[in-house]
Structure 1
Amino acid sequence: MSVAPEPSATAYAPTARTVPTRSKERAAYDRALVHSILDEAYVCHLGFVRDGAPVVLPTLFGRVGERLYVHGSTGSRPLRMAGDRQDPGLRVCLTVTHVDALVLARSAFHHSINYRSVVIHGTAHQVTDPDEKRRALDALVDHVVPGRAADSRPANAKELAATAVLSLDLTEVSAKLRTGGPNDDAEDLGLPHWTGLVPLRHGYGPLVPADDLAEGIEAPAYLREL
């Protein structure tokens, strides 16, 4: 059975691929910060090379300690390309980004966004151990809504056979952030243009029951508390 590695320090070690060439002061390697950015996101983008050309796919993911899991159909090309941990696996780059505010400057050049992002380089492998696969699928469901995995029917044998799961260890990892207001040039400070931040708010709307929901089934507390 494959076991995810335990964190050995409070920060990831920078590498040639995780140190940005621009705005290096915005890079961060703190594990807790990286985990918080990942755990707040619903969708990641998984990049890899297929037939000599780059491919980037949006997909759901889940984190268990120092390992990420993504899933898909067993017929999916990237999932077929990634062997188990005895095979070379699939070299990937996985990213997550949150946009926190629009940054409006006096000059067009200095317009920007405030953001939090994570970039992970590594080799993805198919999960073949049945117990790890079930834990990974539970993590994927709970990543969307914590507590949901225990409040739904688990995958049966047919569904498990049709589902492939990739694992990616958090080893070569970096975060990058922008905060604060516009950075206008001194000569532009007197221009008559509004400048500042437009914060972006994320929230949940009212629950919408399915049309075929049986009468008398109330929304569980973990959904009402979102």
Structure 2
Amino acid sequence: MDALSPTPRTTVRRGRDRAVSDRAALHALLADGLVAHLGVDVGEGAGRHPVVLPCAYAVDLDGPDDGGTLYVHGSVAARWLVGATDTTVCVTVTELDGLVLARSGFHHSMNYRSAVVIGVARPVTDDDERVRALDAIVDHLAPGRSATLRPATRKELAATAVLAVPLREASMKTRAGAPVDDPADVAAGGWAGHVPVRRTVGAAVPDAETREPVPAHVELLTDPREVVQLSAR
């Protein structure tokens, strides 16, 4: 499955020139992003309404779902998680790459990479898959960290729900570069361009009880020379 094949629900209709058809670009964005937003309907009857919530996530391209698997997790008592189970959800991931400053307000924009994934959220009930998914979510934030942690307890696993969303039905858009101004505005003069935006991290801050040095996998997160390698993991 090398190409994105949008369904009617994921076909890009506005700004089609920004649509991305290469599935590898979707995978790269999901690897680079840190926060997903999950949209789901919650409530009952007249009180039913949509909510969109930020969440940590992980991707297993060889996962059991069609096109690979995107995992999210939360408390078993969370209303949004209960509402998402076995229903169609929408997951988005966006990375802001720049601010586009044009010669008119109309043509101001942003440089970005954005993905939309739509699918039925499957509750992960297999214990081994749940552990793999939760470890993957930890490792997505800090590669290599899960191997340094104690195993989750039965109580922790019982309190945590994991949902899996197939990656088959997805679309992606991207924008890069300079503003697209009207010829008359260009002729009239004035400054225009774009301002790159990059994610940065500070030095790791140990908590009050820590006596050990900063571990290697955490140092990689705070070393600017490793940013590109971590983004491409």
* Residue 20 of structure 1, aligned match among 9, 12, 15: 12
Query: Does residue 219 of the first structure (1) align with residue 221 of the second (2)?
Result: no
Question: Residue 44 of structure 1 corresponds to which residue in structure 2?
Answer: 36
Q: CA deviation at 1:154?
A: 2.2
* Residue 98 of structure 2, aligned match among 101, 116, 138: 101
Query: Does residue 183 of the first structure (1) align with residue 188 of the second (2)?
Result: no
Hey, which of these two has a bigger chunk of helix by percent?
Answer: 2
Q: Do the aligned residues in 1 keep the contact of 2:42 with 2:50 (CA within 8 Å)? A: yes
Q: Kindly, what percent of the aligned residue pairs are identical?
A: 49
The one-character-per-residue Cα deviations of 1:53-89 (angstroms, maximum 9, x if unpaired) are 1111111111111101100000011322344xxxxx1
* Residue 54 of structure 2, aligned match among 31, 54, 58: 58
Unaligned runs of 5+ in 1: 1-8, 84-88
Give the length in aligned residue pairs. 211
Q: Do the aligned residues in 1 keep the contact of 2:58 with 2:136 (CA within 8 Å)? A: yes
Letter in 2 for 1:17: R
Q: Do the aligned residues in 1 keep the contact of 2:40 with 2:84 (CA within 8 Å)? A: no
Instruction: Give the match's secondary structure for 2:134.
Output: helix
Distance in 1 (alpha carbons) for counterparts of 2:88 and 2:202: 38
Letter in 1 for 2:51: V
Distance in 1 (alpha carbons) for counterparts of 2:202 and 2:26: 27
Q: CA deviation at 1:190?
A: 2.7
Q: CA RMSD for the aligned pairs?
A: 1.2
Instruction: Give the match's secondary structure for 2:74.
Output: strand
Question: Residue 129 of structure 2 corresponds to which residue in structure 1?
Answer: 132
Question: Residue 72 of structure 2 corresponds to which residue in structure 1?
Answer: 70
Instruction: Give the match's secondary structure for 1:98.
Output: strand
Instruction: Give the match's secondary structure for 1:36.
Output: helix
Q: Do the aligned residues in 1 keep the contact of 2:74 with 2:81 (CA within 8 Å)? A: yes
Letter in 1 for 2:12: P
Question: Residue 65 of structure 2 corresponds to which residue in structure 1?
Answer: none
What pairs up with 1:55-204 in 2 under 5 angstroms? 55-65=51-61, 66-83=68-85, 89-204=86-201
Instruction: Give the match's secondary structure for 1:197.
Output: strand
Q: CA deviation at 1:185?
A: 0.2
Question: Residue 207 of structure 1 corresponds to which residue in structure 2?
Answer: 204
Q: Do the aligned residues in 1 keep the contact of 2:19 with 2:173 (CA within 8 Å)? A: yes
Distance in 2 (alpha carbons) for counterparts of 1:80 and 1:174: 26
TM-score, normalised via structure 1 length: 0.90
The one-character-per-residue Cα deviations of 1:170-216 (angstroms, maximum 9, x if unpaired) are 010111001110100001113342210111121221111111102xx
Question: Residue 6 of structure 1 corresponds to which residue in structure 2?
Answer: none
Distance in 1 (alpha carbons) for counterparts of 2:69 and 2:133: 10
Unaligned runs of 5+ in 2: 62-67, 222-233
